[in-house]
Amino acid sequence: MEYDGILLGMGNPLLDISAVVDQDFWNKYEIEPNNAILAEDKHLPMYDEMAAKPTVEYIAGGATQNSIRVAQWILQFPGATSYMGSVGKDKFGEEMKKNAQDAGVNVHYYEDETAPTGTCAVCVLDGERSLIANLSAASCYKVDQLKRPENWTLVEKAKFYYIAGFFLTVSPESIQLVAEHAAANNKIFSMNLSAPFICEFFRDPQEKALPYMDFVFGYETEARTFSKVHGWETDNVEEIALKISQWPKASGTHKRITVITQGAGPVVVAEDGKVKLFPVIPLPKEKLVDANGTGDAFVGGFLSQLVQEKPIAECVRAGCYASNIIFQRSGCTYPEKPDFA
């Protein structure tokens, strides 16, 4: 099977800037432990300050990019995955491009000259983390960039697509274009519910894309929000997954499969009017390092087997393997080689 460019992701690229800082730094920027917020003006100088620290680490982040990197890591076929999104024309954009390319992903960033690369500061003090995200250039992607020949070639080459719901806040037109291409060419299109606020406040573009989705991923929290928004009057994740799988489709070529994770609870998979539960790999509390990126990693693991046309059970097993690995590390990072058999 030809794997070159088989999987394409599109989303909001953020460069995670992780560094150990001191209490004075936390006080200066009014940082709270184990928190995650969007940056305010007072936080903006912190990114350059962290970049100057000797302990700084750069990790290509953003939900879709995390999933694509993990899929590439497990696949181990150079250039099997591609990714598109918007960055600034700056050192952080260059750093992220290098990071993603080193991971084997074929990145096609649009370089916006008006805004800096989106970043997420990961501030570490005494083992505790606090996240401050500045979306910036990530929100500048437009459908015109997607239509450029060098980018549309990646769309035509791919057979599988994955886009996190967060991209609905940036370019629903781009999502729709890829979704319609996938349906017209019997390819596999997948998205993620991503967050409760996406289901609540971006309901219209989400509903417009949903008929094209062959796979819908999500976490139990946003699945319940989706149910509430649509007046289904159920909090039962299995019922919700089933209802999502039965939502009308734009193309009858592929059935829709819904995959909902529940943390330490079993993975819920709904297809063909039935629900299956798959247990996750148990992990002792002392091995839990960082939950950040574990949901993204699950999707990446799942997709790594899906593009190889493996059974759904095997896709779930790879997803659980990937999230288990990322749980035990700082950020969405992984060892040099996977040991997934």
The residues annotated as belonging to the active site are 296
Measured distance between the N- and C-terminal CA atoms of the chain, rounded to whole angstroms = 19
Closest CA to 134 of 115, 114, 113, 120: 120
Residue 326 CB partners (closer than 8 Å, separation 6+): 70, 290, 293, 294, 297, 332, 333, 334
Residue in the structure block whose two tokens are 């696949």 = 75
Residues 221 and 283: their CA atoms lie apart, in Å, by 21
| Nearest Cα to Cα of residue 162 among 137, 189, 141, 143 | 189
Pairing of strands 265-271, 36-38: unpaired
Nearest to 293 by CA among 63, 77, 39, 112: 63
For residue 206, give the amino acid letter.
Q
- Two tokens, residue 90: 């700056």
Radius of gyration of the chain (CA): 19
**H or E segment and range at residue 133:** strand 128-134
User: For residues 194-221, b (16+ Cβ closer than 10 Å) or e, as one string?
Assistant: bbbebbeebeebbeebbebbbbbbbbbb
Phi, psi of 269 (to 5 degrees): -125, 120
- Tell me the backbone φ, ψ of residue 54, rounded to 5 degrees: -65, -25
